[in-house]
Structure formats: C-alpha cells, structure tokens
Amino acid sequence: MTYPTDRPATWFVTGASRGLGLELVRQLLDRGDQVAATTRSTERLTTALAGSDTTRLLPLAVDLADQEQVTRAVTETIDRFGTLDVVVNNAGYGYLAAVEEVSDADARAMFDVQVFGVWNVLRAVLPHFRAHRSGHVINVSSVLGLLSFPGWSLYTAGKFALEAITESLAAEVADHGIRVNSVEPGYMRTDFLRPVSVGLPAATSDAYPAIREMVDQHLHQIPGTQPGDPARAATAIITVATGGDAPLHQLLGSDSLALADGRLQALADDVAASRALAVTTDYPAES
C-alpha cells in the first residue's frame, strides 16, 4: 500500500482515550487525517481532546471482546469516511502477579482485550483491505512481547500471542497489498503503571516477596521516570505508516532496544546449548 497523499488518511485506533492511543489520535487530527477512535468512554476521549479540532473524529464506544460491536464500529467508520487505510490495535492494560495468583477470570479478561479483541478487529477490517488491495495493520505490542519477567506472565502471554498473530498475518496478506507491522515500546511515561491501568489480584500467599517488591516498585517508584515519551512514540507510529520501510518488528525506546539485544543473546546461548541434545531426537539417517 502507498500511504494516501491525495486525500486525508482514515485511521481506526483502539484504546484511544489514554496514553499512547490518545496522543496518536491527537496528532492524527492535527495532521488533518480522519480518525475512528474506540474507547470504553467516548466522554473521556472527547474531554481529553479539548482544544483539538474533532470534526474529523468518530468516537466509538466499543467492547473489543464483542465481535458484533467491533464489526459495527468498522462499518460505521467506512460509512462515515468512505474508506479505511490504517488500523492501530493499541488497546491494552498491565497486570502484575505470580502465575499461581492469576485467576481464570483475569486471564480470560486479559486475552479478551489483547488477543481476541485484536482478532475481532482483524476479522472486521481484512475483507475491506483485501477488496481494495491496500491497507495497513499496526499492532502495538511491547518489548515484553519478546521477553518476559517474573510477575508479568499474564501480560506478556498476551503480547507474545499478539506477536505470533502479527507474524502470521504479515505473511498471509502480503500478496493482497496489505502491510503489517508490530511496534514494541519500552517503558513510556503514561498512566500505564497507575493502579487504574494495572490489574492487581489479591496475593494468595506470601510465597513471592520478590514479586510483591516489584509491584511496589512499578506502582510507586517507576512512574514518572520512564524514558519513553508517548508523544514521540505516537509520531514514530505515524512514521511507520507513512514511511513504508519499517521492519516487521519496530522497537521504540532505548530501553526496548537494550532489552531486545539481551534477549537475542540469551536465545542464541540457548540454541547453542541445545544443539547436542537436539540432534539426538531424529530418526537415524538411512544408510
């Protein structure tokens, strides 16, 4: 797809009322683009955009886990703007807990947003993209879609799944003129680590003091010190869409780069250490 230069582009952005999503919507409107923005509260979104020209904004209250709501939102977007060019799957929230503390309900709620919600959006938009042989999907993952830490199992499980969906999708739709990217931010100075954005289950025991300490650090010490600027990250996402030459996995942030470099080395070490045993599980070569 060539990013449209003869008309305003039309974007569909999920998770638009806070943080990176909100900043992205604001910048797109300032550029003169058309934006359908999903949120759980359109009032919160429009209030947050006070001072911006919202005449090209379509705010949509959508439960991303509900396929009918998502499909209806995409249809409303195309009816309003006549087309759809870029989809940004940005909705998500954090969750800190040991594996055994994660309830079934919390695990399913997380996957409803980070995995099934994305799938619902993709199922709704891909027929339109294929029919027009154009379109761009940008999935907002995280560097924690490439590696994990103790206490982040549920959040990273969702992001790892999103990375897998993105890689498969990119290969599936390349012949249809559709572009696909994943962006992997590091820590950004948003309210992502505030209690309103982070699930915190009641501890089942005192067996994980290190995780309790990490929770306290993430909620009370790290906020306000994150290196990532959400405004610059939003600009980078626009560059991914308009530039046409971003890699499939676009890291955002110096911390994301450093963590990814460490993960590559650790994975290379594991491959090397696995080699001797790995080759013993094949059938013997026929003579």
Q: What is the DSSP string of 105-154?
A: HHHHHHHIIIIIHHHHHHHHHHHHHHHHT--EEEEE--GGGT---TTBHH
Structure token digits, residue 23: 């900043």
Query: Annotated catalytic, 187?
Result: no
Could you say which of 141, 142, 153, 256 is catalytic?
A: 141
Query: Annotated catalytic, 159?
Result: yes
Largest Cα–Cα separation, the chain:
76
DSSP state letter for 231: H
Calpha distance 35→33 (Å, rounded): 6
Could you say which of 17, 142, 155, 256 is catalytic?
A: 155
Query: Annotated catalytic, 254?
Result: no
Strands 57-61 and 136-140: unpaired
In the chain, where the domains are located: 10-253
How far does the chain reach from its first CA to its final CA, in angstroms? Answer: 51
Crossing angle of helices 117-132 and 67-81, in 10° steps, is 40
Calpha distance 230→74 (Å, rounded): 26
CA angle 253, 190, 53 (to 5 degrees): 105
Smallest CA-to-CA distance from 118 within 148, 80, 163 is with 163
Smallest CA-to-CA distance from 158 within 249, 92, 98 is with 92
pLDDT at 186: 87
Strands 94-95 and 34-39: unpaired
List helix spans (H) across the chain.
Answer: 19-31, 42-48, 67-81, 104-111, 117-132, 153-173, 209-220, 230-243, 254-278
Smallest CA-to-CA distance from 15 within 63, 67, 84 is with 63
Calpha distance 162→141 (Å, rounded): 7
Could you say which of 159, 187, 208, 256 is catalytic?
A: 159
pLDDT at 195: 45
pTM value > 0.85: yes
Mean pLDDT by 10 residues, the chain (287 residues): 84 94 97 96 94 96 97 98 98 89 92 97 98 97 94 94 98 98 87 51 67 75 72 97 96 95 97 97 88
The CATH number, out of the four listed (3.40.50.720, 3.40.50.300, 3.30.450.150, 2.160.10.10), of the domain defined by the range 10-253: 3.40.50.720
Amino acid letter, residue 166: T
CA dihedral of residues 121, 123, 125, 128 (deg, nearest 10): -170
pLDDT at 209: 81
pLDDT at 211: 83
Burial pattern 90-124, b for ≥16 Cβ within 10 A else e, equals bbbbbbbbbeebbeeebbebbbbbbbbbbbbbbeb
